[in-house]
């Protein structure tokens, strides 16, 4: 930084201080050389001082942290802004994001349910009705515990003060959308007037679901193991620029022409399968009328909400290891399930994202095909399946189970940059005398320094485990982290230390009341 005119000259050391409007972001001291404070910044200050007076630096830094941009001393210089721009910089009300960190089914819905009580909007940004969350919540004057299954709708709408938004990045099968909505209403959850759908969201049709099954048959032994909900084919239509979006429904002539063309293309590719194109066109004419009250311009909607200081919670679908780019491709879903998908699936900038919570199961599960290094095809795997009730909400399929894989989790933390974690289903480990955790992969006796993209490499890794003692005690009655058994606490702390990410929430049972929050473990935005 250039010295301000009139500032005293000195033969001492020149300290450059960077601070943001939120205060100092970092400090790196190398005595005897030019030094700097590092981190993101929006204001710059400079000062000169002799080495004997460097002790006074800390008093200056303290002033910067608690009183940024308000120093009258002539050695400090505020950045110059034109009057036209002064005061017009947008102050973001940041979103909170909940993402799956493994292969899905980590228990995201339960955390979203708990958090959404303090949020105005809960938004979905990716995937379709291939996702599945099961939530138990009290309903009605008698507070009857009721089990709700969510597939397409944001699970935060269990809380009556929360509005649900299905973003542009989601693909929507309208019959399933209304079936889910009607089921929730019948169970006593009144939500039909507070669920909105982006006019930019793409549509999933029944022929997409048929094609999904045909593709699996075509792949034979190399099948992906999809839910056959038509999600992949719908995203394929989107990527090939032949898909139909929600707004197309309201110009029936245009919709019908595009729909016929789309179906004909699938007939050419897969042969003439049984499908009544004209009947489907008429069905969607009726569905469009019913959908109309729910449709919004989601970009305007969510930015308007943020501008009016509304609190927004984003509910991720699937998980990082099923991401189309960073998952175990091709055994993945067809959307961006990572932090980037939040931006593209809702039309928001990265600066709007505040706190990001990664949800991680205390062991590992996945469905469908693909490598699974810590999978346990033994009594341990059966224990996880039976005690953890590892059956898919959407498909009913038995999930593959294995030990917690911290190699996967480290990769997941690297990409999504979680501010904190929610460790779920810790109680499933209660009866185990010892617990293994994967901490390293080796190939041909050499450590693998990264999570491999090549599935042939991943399939051939040797897993190095750390073995920790179990606690052999039921933990569901614990009211705080300190009430957990010592070995249970050590298990949590081992994960936390390995990942260098605080574990803020801990699930110790299926109910809302079985979630512990560790105070002081949340990172301030």
Q: Are 108 and 356 in contact (CB under 8 A)?
A: no
CA 131, distance to chain mean position in Å, is: 13
CA separation for the pair 259, 206 (Å, rounded)? 12
Q: Is 107 annotated as a binding residue?
A: yes
Radius of gyration (C-alpha) of the chain in whole angstroms: 27
Output the six-digit token pair for 235: 């995203």
Catalytic residue among 202, 228, 238, 436: 238
Cα gap 168→182, rounded to integer Å? 22
- 108 assigned ligand-binding residue: yes
Tell me if 318 is assigned to a ligand binding site.
yes
Q: 225 a known binding residue?
A: no
* Pair 400, 364: CB distance under 8 Å: no
Q: d(Cα 281, Cα 260) in Å, to the nearest integer?
A: 9
Per DSSP, helices labelled H in 331-378 are 339-346
In angstroms, the CA 513 to CA 10 distance is 63
> Known binder of ligand: residue 358?
no
130 is in an annotated binding site: yes
Q: Is 415 annotated as a binding residue?
A: no
How far does the chain reach from its first CA to its final CA, in angstroms?
28
Q: Among 113, 133, 212, 323, which one carries the catalytic annotation?
A: 133
Crossing angle of helices 486-499 and 406-416, rounded to 10°: 50
State residue 439 phi and psi, 5-degree precision. -120, -10
Neighbours of 140 (CB within 10 A): 10
320: annotated binding-site residue?
no
Q: Is 109 annotated as a binding residue?
A: yes
Whether 460 has a binding-site annotation, put simply, is no
Residue 294 annotated in ligand binding: no
Is residue 324 a known part of a binding site?
A: no
Q: How far apart are CA 336 and CA 485, in angstroms?
A: 38
- Torsions phi, psi of 286, nearest 5? -75, -40
80 is in an annotated binding site: no
**Burial annotation 39-61 (CB, 10 A radius, 16+ → b, else e):** eebebebbbbbeeeeeeebeebb
511 is in an annotated binding site: no
Does 133 qualify as catalytic in the annotation? yes
Token pair of 62 as six digits: 């303290």
The catalytically annotated residue of 105, 199, 212, 338 is 105
Is 370 annotated as a binding-site member? no
Q: Is 110 annotated as a binding residue?
A: yes
Is 193 annotated as catalytic? no
3-state SS string for 36-65? ECCCCCCEEEEEEECHHHHHHHHHHHHHHH
12 is in an annotated binding site: no
88 is in an annotated binding site: no
Check if 419 is active-site.
Answer: no
Q: Is 131 annotated as a binding residue?
A: yes
Tell me whether residue 258 is annotated as binding.
no
- Annotated binding residues, written as ranges, equal 104-110, 130-134, 227, 241, 318, 333, 393-399, 425-427, 507-509
- Annotated binding residues for substrate, written as ranges, equal 393-399
User: Which residues are part of the catalytic machinery?
Assistant: 105, 133, 238
- Annotated binding residues for GTP, written as ranges, equal 104-110, 132-134, 399, 425-427, 507-509
- Annotated binding residues for IMP, written as ranges, equal 105-108, 130-133, 227, 241, 318, 333, 397
- Annotated binding residues for Mg(2+), written as ranges, equal 105, 132
């Amino acid at each position: 930084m250039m010295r301000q005119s009139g500032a005293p000259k000195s033969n001492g050391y020149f300290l450059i201080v960077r601070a943001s409007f939120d205060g100092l972001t970092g400090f790196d001291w190398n005595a005897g050389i030019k030094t700097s404070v590092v981190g993101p910044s929006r204001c710059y200050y400079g000062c000169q001082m002799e080495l004997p007076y460097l002790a006074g630096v800390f008093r200056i830094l303290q002033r910067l942290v608690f009183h940024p941009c308000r120093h009258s001393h002539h050695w400090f210089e505020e950045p110059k802004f034109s009057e036209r721009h002064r005061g017009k910089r947008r102050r973001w009300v940041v979103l909170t994001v909940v993402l799956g960190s493994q292969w899905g089914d980590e228990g995201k819905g339960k955390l979203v349910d708990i958090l959404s009580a303090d949020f105005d909007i809960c938004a979905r940004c990716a995937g379709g009705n291939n996702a599945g969350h099961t939530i138990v919540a009290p309903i009605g004057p008698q507070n009857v515990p009721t089990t709700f299954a969510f597939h397409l709708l944001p699970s935060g709408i269990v809380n009556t003060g929360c509005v649900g938004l299905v973003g542009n990045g989601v693909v929507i099968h309208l019959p399933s959308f209304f079936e889910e909505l009607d089921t929730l209403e019948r169970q006593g959850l009144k939500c039909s007037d507070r669920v909105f759908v982006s006019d930019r969201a793409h549509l999933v049709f029944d022929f997409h679901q048929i094609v999904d099954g045909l593709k699996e048959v075509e792949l034979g032994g190399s099948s992906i193991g999809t839910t056959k909900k038509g999600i992949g084919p719908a995203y394929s239509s989107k990527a090939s620029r032949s898909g139909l979006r929600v707004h197309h429904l309201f110009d029936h002539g245009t919709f019908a022409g595009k729909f016929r063309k789309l179906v004909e293309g699938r007939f050419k590719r897969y042969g003439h399968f049984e499908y009544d194109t004209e009947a489907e066109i008429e069905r969607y004419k009726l569905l469009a009328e019913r959908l109309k009250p729910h449709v919004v311009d989601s970009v305007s909607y969510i930015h308007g909400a943020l501008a009016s200081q509304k609190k927004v919670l984003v509910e991720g679908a699937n998980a990082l290891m099923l991401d189309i780019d960073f998952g175990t491709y091709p055994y993945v879903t067809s959307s961006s399930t990572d932090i980037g998908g939040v931006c593209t699936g809702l039309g928001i900038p990265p600066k709007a994202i505040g706190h990001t919570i990664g949800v991680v199961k205390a062991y590992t599960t996945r469905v469908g095909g693909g490598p699974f290094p810590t999978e346990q095809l033994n009594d341990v795997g059966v224990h996880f399946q039976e005690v953890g009730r590892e059956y898919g909400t959407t498909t009913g399929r038995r999930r593959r189970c294995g030990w917690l894989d911290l190699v996967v989790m480290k990769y997941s933390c690297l990409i999504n940059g979680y501010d904190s974690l929610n460790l779920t289903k810790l109680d499933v480990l209660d009866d185990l005398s010892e617990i293994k955790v994967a901490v390293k992969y080796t190939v041909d006796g050499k450590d693998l320094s990264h999570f491999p993209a090549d599935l042939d490499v991943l399939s051939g890794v040797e897993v190095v485990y750390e073995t920790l003692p179990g606690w052999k005690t039921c933990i569901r009655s614990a009211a705080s982290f300190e009430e957990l058994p010592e070995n249970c606490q050590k298990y949590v702390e081992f994960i936390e230390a390995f990942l260098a990410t605080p574990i803020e929430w801990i699930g110790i049972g299926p109910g809302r009341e079985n979630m512990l929050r560790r105070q002081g473990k949340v990172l301030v935005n």
